[in-house]
């Protein structure tokens, strides 16, 4: 009996304790959300009474921080020291919005879902030898590839058709405008593809190409138009921004600033961005703009990419008027480094591959799904300011489309490499004509 009374007394007290706890939790939650909201609205404000997190939100792209030219990163820039990552995050305009609030209009046709169809009547859209701007890194036939089937595949969406390429119509879309590709060597490959697709109808004396530089420009006088490429492999400022000399042991970025590159891309009418591959090359050193002592923090590639894309997204959200400027983001280009992923028990890569993968929905390790999820979250918050060109799945099928050994290599190959072609095969970039032409057909489709 005594035991029952004690239990009943505890039961009668429990609701009161629960009510008090719920009121405390609700108050704490409201206080925390209010504090975070104020940081997003005014990232420079610091609440000294807030102890909810060690995260500091940094407002990106503040031009006042850099006042001396010597503070701009170049290939000679190094870290004076490396310290533990402080947990700083980018507080970009719009980062507090929930992607679920975005109104998504259903597409009549998902042009990114489909299959590759062999079509040697319509493809390729140009000949490798007819394009004077072809890169030796991508000219596979010139460098010995005899099987040319990779040039004849057409992307066919399910239940609809991709808009057919029309060079004259594309030039009319570009009349009096600047089209600029911004990114790494994969985006440069898409730019070369676009130039090759366009140049044939422009008389030789009415077109020009500037020398290879940070910004390289193809001009067509008749249309008063340019097709440009800006080397910015990490989107933010980095010590790898030299288009030629960028192979460095220590990769350093300013995670909170795109201003160095944005000063060149801001006047373009159509922008095509990409970034991905360079973030998969190990840890990245962070040199925050406000830090003057040269001490770097270190972070893994995916998290560093998220910071960089936050700074990029801040520029897009604050500077882009969709009625005046079109912005596209090209998703990650997959690699094909492990043949066992499509051919079990094999131990090679894309070398010798002549046909696409015919398993619908195939994914290999060359596409990093967590990174894709991070990128999708950022892009969804940008709403109508950015159009996404999702090349990842359709390019996953094309294990046959890489240069492999059929390209110019900038350094002499060693005898042990020559005896084992798979050891030096390029399974990252793409032969031209080839897969990047379809990326540009998708761009044409959405313009």
DSSP H or E stretch at residue 83: strand 81-83
**3-state SS class at 416:** helix
In the set 257, 333, 429, 437, the catalytic residue is: 429
Q: Which of 243, 187, 237 is nearest to 214 (CA)?
A: 243
Q: 348-382 burial, b for 16+ CB within 10 Å, e for fewer?
A: bbbbebeebbeeeebebebbbeebeebbeebbbbb
292 alpha-carbon distance from chain centroid? 29
Contact between 293 and 80 (Cβ < 8 Å): yes
Q: 154 pairs with which residues across the strands?
A: 117
141 is catalytic: no
In whole angstroms, give the CA distance from residue 354 to residue 339: 13
Pairwise CA distance, residues 392 & 229, whole Å: 21
Annotated catalytic residue 429? yes
Judge if the upstream peptide bond of residue 124 is cis by omega within 30 degrees of 0.
yes
Largest CA distance in the chain: 106
How many C-beta neighbours within 10 Å does residue 226 have? 18
Where would I find the H helices in 228-300?
259-265
Q: Which of 77, 185, 193, 257 is catalytic?
A: 185
Cα distance between residue 268 and residue 136, in whole Å: 28
Catalytic residue list contains 426: yes
Q: Which of 314, 368, 426, 437 is catalytic?
A: 426
Contact (Cβ atoms closer than 8 angstroms) between residue 392 and residue 367: yes
Q: Which residues are catalytic?
A: 185, 426, 429
């Amino acid at each position: 009996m005594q035991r029952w009374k004690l239990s009943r007394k505890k039961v009668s007290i429990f609701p009161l304790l629960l009510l008090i706890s719920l009121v405390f939790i609700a108050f704490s939650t409201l206080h925390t959300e209010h504090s975070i909201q104020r940081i997003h609205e005014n990232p420079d404000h610091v609440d000294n009474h807030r102890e909810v997190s060690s995260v500091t939100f940094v407002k990106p792209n503040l031009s006042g921080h850099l006042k001396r030219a010597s503070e701009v990163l170049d290939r000679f820039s190094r870290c004076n020291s490396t310290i533990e990552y402080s947990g700083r995050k980018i507080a970009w305009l719009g980062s507090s919005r929930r992607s679920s609030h975005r109104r998504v209009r259903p597409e009549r046709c998902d042009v990114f879902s489909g299959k590759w169809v062999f079509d040697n009547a319509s493809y390729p859209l140009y000949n490798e030898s007819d394009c004077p701007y072809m890169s030796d890194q991508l000219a596979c036939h010139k460098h010995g590839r005899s099987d040319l089937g990779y040039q004849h595949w057409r992307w066919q969406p399910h239940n609809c058709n991709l808009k057919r390429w029309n060079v004259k119509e594309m030039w009319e879309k570009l009349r009096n405008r600047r089209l600029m590709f911004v990114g790494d060597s994969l985006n440069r490959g898409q730019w070369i593809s676009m130039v090759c697709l366009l140049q044939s109808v422009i008389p030789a004396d009415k077109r020009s190409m500037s020398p290879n530089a940070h910004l390289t420009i193809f001009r067509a006088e008749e249309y008063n138009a340019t097709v440009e490429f800006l080397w910015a492999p990490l989107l933010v400022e980095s010590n790898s921004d030299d288009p030629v000399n960028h192979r460095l042991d220590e990769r350093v970025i300013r995670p909170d600033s795109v201003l160095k590159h944005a000063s060149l891309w801001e006047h373009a009418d159509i922008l095509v961005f990409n970034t991905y591959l360079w973030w998969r090359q190990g840890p990245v050193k962070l040199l925050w703009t406000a830090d003057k002592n040269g001490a770097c923090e270190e972070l893994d590639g995916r998290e560093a990419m998220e910071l960089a894309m936050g700074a990029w997204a801040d520029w897009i959200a604050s500077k882009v008027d969709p009625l005046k400027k079109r912005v596209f983001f090209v998703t990650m280009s997959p690699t094909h480094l492990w043949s066992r992923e499509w051919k079990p028990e094999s131990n090679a890569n894309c070398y010798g591959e002549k046909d696409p993968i015919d398993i619908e929905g195939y994914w290999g390790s060359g596409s990093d799904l967590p990174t894709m999820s991070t990128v999708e979250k950022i892009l969804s918050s940008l709403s109508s300011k950015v159009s996404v060109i999702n090349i990842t799945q359709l390019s996953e099928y094309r294990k046959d489309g890489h240069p492999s050994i059929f390209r110019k290599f900038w350094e002499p190959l060693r005898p042990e490499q020559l005896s084992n072609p798979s050891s030096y095969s390029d399974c990252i970039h793409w032969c031209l004509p080839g897969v990047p032409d379809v990326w540009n057909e998708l761009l044409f489709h959405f313009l």
